[in-house]
Amino acid sequence: MLDLKALIFPFPNQPYAMKKYVSLLALAVVGFACQPPAEETVDYTAMSDAERLEAAKEIAHKTIMVDGHVDLPYRMKVGGFTLQREILDVSVRTPDGNFDFPRSKEGGLDAPFMSIYIPAGNQQTPGASKALADSLIMMTERLASTFPDKFAMAYSPSDVEANFAKGLISLPMGMENGSGIEDDLSNVEYFADRGIRYITLTHGKANLIGDSSYDTVRLYNGLSEFGEQVVKEMNRVGIMVDLSHVSDETFKDALAITKVPVIASHSSARKFTPGFERNMSDELIKAMAENGGVVMINFGGSFIDSAYAAGSSKVREHLVNYMAENNLSRGDSAFKAYAAEYTAANNPFPTVQKVADHIDHVVSLVGIDHVGFGSDFDGVGDSLPTGLKDVSMFPNLIAELLKRGYSEEDIAKICYKNVFRVWQAVEDYAASQS
């Protein structure tokens, strides 16, 4: 039988020990009484869809959210952005495109990586790639300086955190296509000084660095010798190595050389798009996770669902025939109304659920620490999923993840913690080399 007296008074013949024991017991009781109540775990899966969406909006706004790839700078160039005046004013709601300040705020997007995009065609003219990169960087800086109450440049995770605390949208930059380096290795450090924090090694064609996933011509069967030097130099100066767009062999070569984790700033899982090398195979996802890297899921229709291309082609063909049969043009209001109605009734677009499937797949393969958002907003045209047409709709995706059992901590990792970990590791390694 339990001796309660012995439990309460364990030292009957030792007054000092007894006194000390009672004091400790009292402190323990007081300490227990002062403990805050355990935080109640919210079961988001038990909520209604409407309740879950409201919870997702709250999470989106209190959590830093990073998007690995938004093509706003090139959209500004096409839209006529000049140093004299901003024809495309994204400080206010815009009638087209996927990104502007009001919609970014609505969706809780805090740090869209501005894509300094260099088309592969620029590679044909010496100096053209670097010149375009400089121009787009200048446009991005101009956006921040023109609207300092809305946007701010960001060159590190701590910059993003400081801007978030002020309610500003951070504008970190990544250069899409390493052709901006031209044939001069010193340009890697030059672009680091200009604020570039990742470089996508290739784009639609092989360049001086390596082979592209989109290019049937394989000049090097991976990285070139120059490309190997570029990866090492990116490590040295603190630029993240971005392996979106590269061929599988280039991907493997870069992983073998890099001393720090890498990213894929806007790629999805090849499991759902068989034969589409631009997306990542399970083998590459596992290799990236072993490296400590992060794959940031692209929202574009052809990246998310292999059925999208066929479905959209059928819709497009029908609408072209309708215009011809009714002697209409794309600008006619009658055609616009019909096209909207027909497309809605024959919706070829993927859904938010399909995007969540890609996140689920990465998590099932390698865990929650190796996935993020890399929407490709303003870069994939009108192919975006239903429910994810612009930056205001991020809560729809978060709500779907909550419905599938993801916790708030899981969401925080996907939103920013995973990419911050890689970014900080790259910064720390560069600091150790100086």
Helix (H) or strand (E) holding 425: helix 418-433
Q: Please, what is the Cα angle at 433 between 427 and 434, to 5 degrees? A: 95
What gap in Å lies between CA 196 and CA 181, rounded to an integer?
Answer: 12
What gap in Å lies between CA 270 and CA 329, rounded to an integer?
Answer: 37
Helix (H) or strand (E) holding 422: helix 418-433
Q: Within 13 Å and on the Cβ side, how many CA atoms surround 197? A: 25
Query: Comparing C-alpha atoms, which of 400, 386, 409 is closest to residue 53?
Result: 400
Supply 365's token pair: 């393969």
Query: What per-residue confidence (pLDDT) applies to 328?
Result: 81
Q: Is the dihedral of CA 377, 381, 384, 389 positive or negative?
A: positive
Q: Where are the domains of the chain?
A: 44-305+350-433, 307-349
Overall residue count recorded for the chain in this entry: 434
Question: Is residue 91 classed exposed, middle or buried when 0-12, 13-18 and 19+ CB atoms within 10 A define those classes?
Answer: middle
**pLDDT tens digits, 112-153:** 999 999 999 999 999 999 999 999 999 999 999 999 999 999
The CATH-assigned architecture of domain 44-305+350-433 is Alpha-Beta Barrel (3.20)
φ, ψ of residue 114 to 5 degrees: the values are -75, 120
Cβ atoms < 10 Å from Cβ of 366: 19
What gap in Å lies between CA 172 and CA 192, rounded to an integer?
Answer: 12
Supply 368's token pair: 């929650």
pTM of the model: 0.86
First to last CA, the chain: 69
Query: What per-residue confidence (pLDDT) applies to 9?
Result: 46
Q: Please, what is the Cα angle at 211 between 350 and 272, to 5 degrees? A: 20
What gap in Å lies between CA 288 and CA 260, rounded to an integer?
Answer: 11
Q: Which residues pair with 19 in a beta bridge?
A: none
Which residues, in sequence order, are CB contacts of 383 under 8 Å at separation 6+?
Answer: 300, 301, 302, 308, 312, 349
- DSSP of 86-147: -SS-TTS--SSSS--HHHHHHHT--EEEEEEE--GGGGGSTTHHHHHHHHHHHHHHHHHHH-
Task: Report whether 266 contacts 249 (CB < 8 A).
Answer: no
- Buried (b) or exposed (e) across 292-324, using 16+ Cβ within 10 A? bbbbbbbbbbbbbbbebeebbeebeeebeeebe
- DSSP of 1-62: ---HHHHH-S-TT-HHHHHHHHHHHHHHHHHHHHSPPPPPPP-GGGS-HHHHHHHHHHHHHH
Q: Indicate the DSSP class of residue 179.
A: G
Q: Is the dihedral of CA 390, 394, 396, 397 positive or negative?
A: positive
Q: Which regions of 129-239 does DSSP assign to beta strands (E)? A: 151-153, 169-171, 173-176, 196-200
Query: What per-residue confidence (pLDDT) applies to 35?
Result: 56
What gap in Å lies between CA 269 and CA 364, rounded to an integer?
Answer: 12
Counting runs of H as helices and runs of E as strands, what totals does the chain give?
18, 10
pLDDT tens track, the chain, 434 positions: 444 444 444 445 554 444 444 454 444 444 444 555 545 588 999 999 999 999 999 999 999 999 999 999 999 998 765 444 445 799 999 989 999 999 999 999 999 999 999 999 999 999 999 999 999 999 999 999 999 999 999 999 999 999 999 999 999 999 999 999 999 999 999 999 999 999 999 999 999 999 999 999 999 999 999 999 999 999 999 999 999 999 999 999 999 999 999 999 999 999 999 999 999 999 999 999 999 999 999 999 999 998 887 767 777 777 788 788 888 888 888 888 888 787 777 767 889 999 999 999 999 999 999 999 999 999 998 899 999 999 999 999 999 999 999 999 999 999 999 999 999 999 999 999 98
Query: Comparing C-alpha atoms, which of 38, 136, 63 is closest to residue 413?
Result: 63
